[in-house]
Chains A and B, each alone.
Chain A
Amino acid sequence: MTAASPAVGMDGPGTGRRLWAFADRWLLKLFTIGAITYLMVPIVVMIVFSFNDPVGKFNFVWAEFSLDAWASPLNRPGLADALWTSIVVAIVGTFIATILGTLIALALVRYSFRGRNATNLFIFIPMATPEIVLGASLLSIFVATATQEPFKSIIPPGIFYPLGLPTIIIAHVMFNISYVVVTVKARIQGFPRHLEEAAMDLGANEWTTFWKVTFPLIRPGIVAAALLAFSLSIDDFIVTNFTSGLVNTFPVWIWGTIRNNLPPQVHVIGTAIFLIAVGGVAISTWLQSRGGRTVAIRPR
């Protein structure tokens, strides 16, 4: 376990010290560059192949450079709709799951109450459930709301059945809550309570204390959790396939399309989403650094 952290120390006598200086400056940096490169490898391949003009219907083998796919990125029936559905589902689903999950994480770490240990363990169960079980069981429940009493008379049609956007979002929130709870909890643990107490002592009420002190401190955890939830949501295929009814999402569309063709448009869309997102993050980083300091929220 310990074998993995070069350059963590800063000092050491004699030759050791020079090695330290070297390691500290370069080894970790090199490692980081290597790891990020590893993560980027398939993305680079994707970007390269978005400029391919494949022979035949499958964009697997490099043929020749072309801008055709970039000139008509959405020129596939159903692709634009599927993409739009995916984005809506991911944004709405992430938003709801992040709020619900963060509230649970706060309760679990900050309070002691009857049933806390059980809840802690319960949170892991949805994560431990194979996706296909989540999907198939949800589908049977959605169908039951339309066919079986007492659900049939209580629940108006159109919420759970017919299947569609609402049922996809319900499913995504469901499988994302646990991931949010676990990620946010890792942040709240070891949280410096005295800051909150100081704020209260200075006369802030609980609400103000939460927004001015607690929230900024746990925000990196919430952001990380939301990122995780968003990425799980936008890439989900199995659960979505069971709960989507007549609606298609981008992953479902791609999983289907591969049976008969793989147009370079798929690579173009992937590249575009990647570039827009990276561009957005890079610009906001740049703006923040120009505006003085980044929002550094580390207890110091």
Chain B
Amino acid sequence: MTDLDQRLRRLPVPRRTFLQGTTLVGFSAFLAACGTGSSPKPSEGAITGPLNFANWPAYIDLTEDETSSPTLTDFEAKYGIKVNYQEEIEANEDFYATIAPQLGSGLDTGWDIIVLTDYMAARVVRAGWIEEIDAANVPTALANVRDELKGLDWDPDMKYHFPWQSGATGVGYNVKSTGRDLTKVEDLFDPAFKGKVTLLSGYADTFSLVGLMLKAKGTISNEPAKMTLEDAQKVYDYLKPFVDSGHIRAFTGNEYLQDFGSGDTWAAMVWSGDLASSGGEDDRFAFPEEGSIIWTDNMLIPKGAKNKRTAEAMMDFVYDVKNAARLAAWIYYISPVKGVADEIAKTDPELAANELLFPSAATAANMFPQPALEDAEDIKWSELSANLEGA
């Protein structure tokens, strides 16, 4: 991946010039796409505001005194509109439940940009609840989005979404508690850790990662995104005895961070960004040998959004390499923008060398996306994971 970055790397240019450059590239691409005689304006619709942006908490850069976000401030200055940025999304399912009735009835949710994880993004795109992005308005984003993030079956051509940040799901552990380094998913089932292991709630992470382990053992043959219901059932059958015996203490969100510190959890299935920023000196993250899961939170424009053009401008804005580097250096997840590692290396080589933010080519090759199931399948998988979790 770093190689790819190198090849695609642009010469460093001041941000404004750079933006003009890419706008021109996009513009000519637009002209080419539309043939001749198109209006020279990139799109219908003017920049309007305020832009209502719903995102996950701690998912934006902050100034030194933490009172505002440079990215948002710059965007506001550039376009002369306000951004109403709200850290409103704390779980895909919860947020979905608060917007689904409106979208289902054809009402505008009030939001211009929302950020949802792959499987949930797939669900709302398939439901027809997302505005199509005008390619002419997002030339930078189209040019800079990392190649391995393209070609997803629910939106192969980036017509509806652009990734905000990605993260990996792998094995986390407190090395003082475990007394050894963990390298495999299978290490989570070491009898020595009985009662001190947690997995993630929902099927998206747990079934995918355990699926990878069973694939390595030869029990199932599909990678996570291609897993069938029978494969999921095999994962369930494998996990059930460990739940019944109390080996797996709980299915959690990121409570493992606290539990690593208190000695209640020794080893767990975790998200990379948490461990990158946890600060616990004995907390470790491993990209497991069987493979790890990569998931992405995606920017989407809900149907009926009042400031669609501005939302597109925002998507394009955060794909500018400088802006993306500024975001990545604060958020500590994996940036979806090409060339960010090199941009960061200029100011903070140590951060650029952090494998949790910038996985090596070998690690990246061993990362697999989660399944993005159709509704009928999703319900059956959810039933399995709910049974496992006791609720």
Contact = CB atoms under 8 A, between A and B. Distances in A.
A touching B, CB within 8 angstroms: yes
A260 B279 contact: no
Nearest to B91: A259
B101 interface: yes
Interface stretch (B57-65, B215-223, B225-233): B57-65
Interface string B47-64: 000001010111110100
Interface of A: 54-58, 60-61, 63, 72, 75-78, 136, 139-140, 143-144, 146-148, 161-163, 241-242, 245-246, 248, 252-253, 255-261
A248 B277 contact: no
Ranked nearest first, the 9 interchain pairs of A and B with the lowest CB-CB distance are A56-B279, A55-B279, A260-B58, A256-B90, A257-B57, A147-B105, A261-B58, A75-B66, A143-B101
13 contacts: A55-B281, A57-B279, A60-B258, A77-B60, A77-B67, A78-B86, A139-B98, A245-B110, A246-B52, A256-B57, A256-B87, A257-B90, A259-B56
Interface residues of B, number: 45
A97 to B, nearest CB: 23
Given A75-B67, A76-B66, A77-B85, A259 B57 contact: yes
Contacts of A163: 110
A97 B98 CA distance: 25
A225 to B, nearest CB: 30
B359 interface: no
Contacts of B106: 147
A261 B277 contact: yes
A259 B257 contact: no
Nearest to B257: A58
Contacts of B279: 54-58, 61, 63
B280 interface: yes
Nearest to B275: A56
B107 interface: yes
Nearest to A79: B87
A77 B273 contact: no
B6 interface: no
Contact of A256 (B84, B89, B97, B101): B89
Contacts of A252: 88, 90
Given A140-B101, A258-B57, 14 more contacts: A57-B332, A75-B65, A77-B66, A139-B98, A143-B107, A148-B105, A241-B94, A246-B54, A248-B88, A252-B88, A255-B90, A257-B57, A259-B91, A260-B58
